[in-house]
């Protein structure tokens, strides 16, 4: 099978590509615009494979997307390209509307035209897999406010109630994908995942930011009281799930993917500090760097995924607990501090693509 993966230089996309090239015999075409968060170094270990091809293309560029589809003739598309940082969406929502909504529309239309030209068997087996987030559902009752709150989980039937420009743009893209299924018959799959973490995560996100700030002796900014709850999913577990869905999932279906690891943000930060104290001990506790800051507007208080459907129907379950996954993650960053520097200053991109990158 040949898979076209949009956003393949991003955090989750690169994990999916590494998984496919390492553990399957499939071919991958990586289509990525290479924004600030796209980093080809995340794919260095597989980029020399004869089964891997890179195309630097913006999903909003219909002419280029058409060219890539015609040239590479993929059997399936995994659509991960997206603007994804909530804080950035609050400060500047325009990029999120353009990439997540207009980009998804452009890709859907190009895919529909391509799909309609396929031979009968290839057309029947084709899949368009849209990768989304649990943030489209809004938030859930918090244990501080609601008895038995832990019984409330996001399911595939949960009504959408996005809170931020980011989650609203992803909700919009989900609706577009389902509409292209209903109206045009495009064989789509949708997955909504909980918070990912692991190696190669861009340093603006919570876990890598806390690790790197702590090592540099900088404040560890925690929103509000730090009592916001997230369900944490190790990125390599997510990559396995996504491949399982695109190969074995039923067209028209939605699958929620979670890690079964609900943690308050402050718990996550405490855990990181304690692991660093063990692996890179210092006289002053890393916890002393924690600084509580004003909460962001519209901050969802709790996310939690019911992943029973994907486990029952496709046989997927996470392999990492939060305790094992966060230990691996902190150790990876300690071993790859030079990667963090290069990804932030763009050194590797310039070396691979030239000064224009």
98 is catalytic: no
Could you tell me where the beta strands, DSSP code E, fall in the chain?
A: 2-6, 27-32, 52-56, 76-79, 127-133, 188-193, 195-197, 220-223, 229-234, 254-257, 262-264, 290-293
Angstrom distance (rounded) from CA 158 to CA 258: 15
Catalytic option among 134, 139, 237, 306: 134
134 is catalytic: yes
Angstrom distance (rounded) from CA 89 to CA 94: 8
Catalytic option among 135, 174, 306, 320: 135
Catalytic option among 105, 114, 166, 303: 166
41 is catalytic: no
Angstrom distance (rounded) from CA 328 to CA 31: 29
For the chain, the 3-state helix, strand and coil shares in percent, each to the nearest 5, are 50, 15, 35
- The closest alpha carbon to 79, from 126, 129, 35, 122, belongs to 129
Residue 17 near residue 53 (C-beta atoms within 8 A):
no
Angstrom distance (rounded) from CA 112 to CA 180: 8
Catalytic residues: 134-135, 166
């Amino acid at each position: 099978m040949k898979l076209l993966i949009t956003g393949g230089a991003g955090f989750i996309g690169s994990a999916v590509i590494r998984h496919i090239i390492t553990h399957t015999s499939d071919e991958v075409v990586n289509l990525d615009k290479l924004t600030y968060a796209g980093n080809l170094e995340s794919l260095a270990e597989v980029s020399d494979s004869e089964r891997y091809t890179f195309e630097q293309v913006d999903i909003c560029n219909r002419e280029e997307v058409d060219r890539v589809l015609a040239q590479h003739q993929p059997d399936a598309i995994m659509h991960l390209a997206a603007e994804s940082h909530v804080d950035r969406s609050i400060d500047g929502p325009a990029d999120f509307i353009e990439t997540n909504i207009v980009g998804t529309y452009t890709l859907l239309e190009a895919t529909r035209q391509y799909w309609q030209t396929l031979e009968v068997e290839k057309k029947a087996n084709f899949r368009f897999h849209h990768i989304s987030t649990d943030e489209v559902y809004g938030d859930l009752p918090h244990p501080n406010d609601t008895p038995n709150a832990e019984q409330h989980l996001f399911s595939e039937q949960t009504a959408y109630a996005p809170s931020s420009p980011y989650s609203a743009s992803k909700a919009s893209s989900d609706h577009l994908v389902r509409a292209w299924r209903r109206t045009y018959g495009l064989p789509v799959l949708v997955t909504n995942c909980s918070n990912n973490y692991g190696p190669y995560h861009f340093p603006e996100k919570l876990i890598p930011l806390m690790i790197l700030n702590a090592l540099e002796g900088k404040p560890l900014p925690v929103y509000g009281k730090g009592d916001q709850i997230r369900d944490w999913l190790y990125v390599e577990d997510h990559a396995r799930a996504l491949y399982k869905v695109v190969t074995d999932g039923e067209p028209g279906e939605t699958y929620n993917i979670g890690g079964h690891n609900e943690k308050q943000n402050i718990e996550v930060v405490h855990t990181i500090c304690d692991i660093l104290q063990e692996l890179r001990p210092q006289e002053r506790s890393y916890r002393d760097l924690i600084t509580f800051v004003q909460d962001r507007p519209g901050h969802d208080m709790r996310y939690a995924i019911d992943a029973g459907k994907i486990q029952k129907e496709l046989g997927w379950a996470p392999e990492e607990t939060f305790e094992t996954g966060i230990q691996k993650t902190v150790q990876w960053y300690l071993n790859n501090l030079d990667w963090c520097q290069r990804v932030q200053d763009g050194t590797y991109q310039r070396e691979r693509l030239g000064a224009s990158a």
